[in-house]
Structure 1
Amino acid sequence: MSTVVSVNISKAKGVPKEPVEKVTAIKNYGLFGDAHAFKNSHRQISFLDFDEIMDFKNDLSFGSFAENITVSGLCNETIFLGSIIKIGNTIVKVTQIGKTCHNECNIKKLLGSCIMPKKGIFGVILKGGLIKPNMVIEVINGKDFYNR
């Protein structure tokens, strides 16, 4: 079973995100109060598995890689482009796995490296809702979701 470990936002781009008690996901926009929220963007929300963070370096805080949602048990091998991630009422469609870190990436400068290029999961918000720690995450094959 996959769960939300932490929800994280930042007021500026290029910096680690700070954990918050809860966030509101807004359809086709992103997380309320987050600098990366942008209408029609293909990366409105990001996920990173806590185990991947600990494997990289075990003294990092949630949001260190600028991930919005730190999760547990969400294995990259079970996520594909088009997969649906459901957290409570919130529905996210996976649009990208991994990303290119640019040379000026502040996270990479601070930590020496970054795992988001291989392990980050990005998506668009199809249906908004509240997200907070300890919520259960359901992953649905995109085709199965649309054929319900």
Structure 2
Amino acid sequence: MGKVIAVCTSPAKGTQKTEAEEGIFIEEFGIEGDAHAGKWHRQVSLLSYDKIEEFRKKGADVENGSFGENLVVKGIDFSSLSVGTRLYCNDVILEMTQIGKECHHGCAIFRKMGDCIMPREGVFARVIRGGRIKAGDEMTVG
């Protein structure tokens, strides 16, 4: 079981996301108001809080949302799960569709640190059932 540490959104692609009070997850679309929402397989991005903390210990000055992630969750190692895994949080059901991604050129984190964890630790999901998620909510793997 995991705990949601942050919900982050951004109005434009290619920008750092900022923390929101809560996310409204729309079935087969994504998070209301987030630039990555749409009818595709990468509606929501997730990153493990524990992996972010490991990266911070290497000297990275990163905030929640710095990697473009929508959900920061403590206690779940997303990269160890497989595509098709379902994640449950309140009424929301997410289904993992992709593990990792190619880092876009000019990534500020990679330029500064010589590394970025999103390509190997970040995962993507589509919204199977909508609802609301906020920091402090519990997430389970099914």
TM-score between both structures, scaled by the size of structure 1: 0.87
Say what the alpha-carbon RMSD is for the aligned residues.
1.6
Alignment match, 1:88? 90
| Deviation by residue 1:74-103 (Cα, 9 ceiling, x = unmatched) | 113652111000110000111011111132
Amino acid at match of 1:21: E
Alignment match, 1:6? 6
The 1-side partners of 2:10 and 2:79 are apart by: 28
Aligned pairs for 1:41-80 within 5 A:
41-58=40-57, 59-76=61-78, 78-80=80-82
Alignment match, 1:113? 115
Q: Percent identity?
A: 40
Query: 106-115 vs 53-62, which deviates more?
Result: 106-115
- The Cα shift of 1:106 comes to 5.1
- The Cα shift of 1:25 comes to 0.4
Alignment match, 1:144? none
- The Cα shift of 1:47 comes to 0.5
The 2-side partners of 1:110 and 1:32 are apart by: 31
Query: 111-120 vs 94-103, which deviates more?
Result: 111-120
The 1-side partners of 2:42 and 2:79 are apart by: 20
Alignment match, 1:36? 36
Alignment match, 1:99? 101
Runs of 4+, deviation exceeding 6 Å: none
The 1-side partners of 2:94 and 2:30 are apart by: 10
Alignment match, 1:130? 132
- The Cα shift of 1:135 comes to 0.6
Amino acid at match of 2:78: N
Could you tell me whether the CA contact under 8 Å between 1:14 and 1:106 is conserved in 2? no
Q: How many residues align?
A: 139
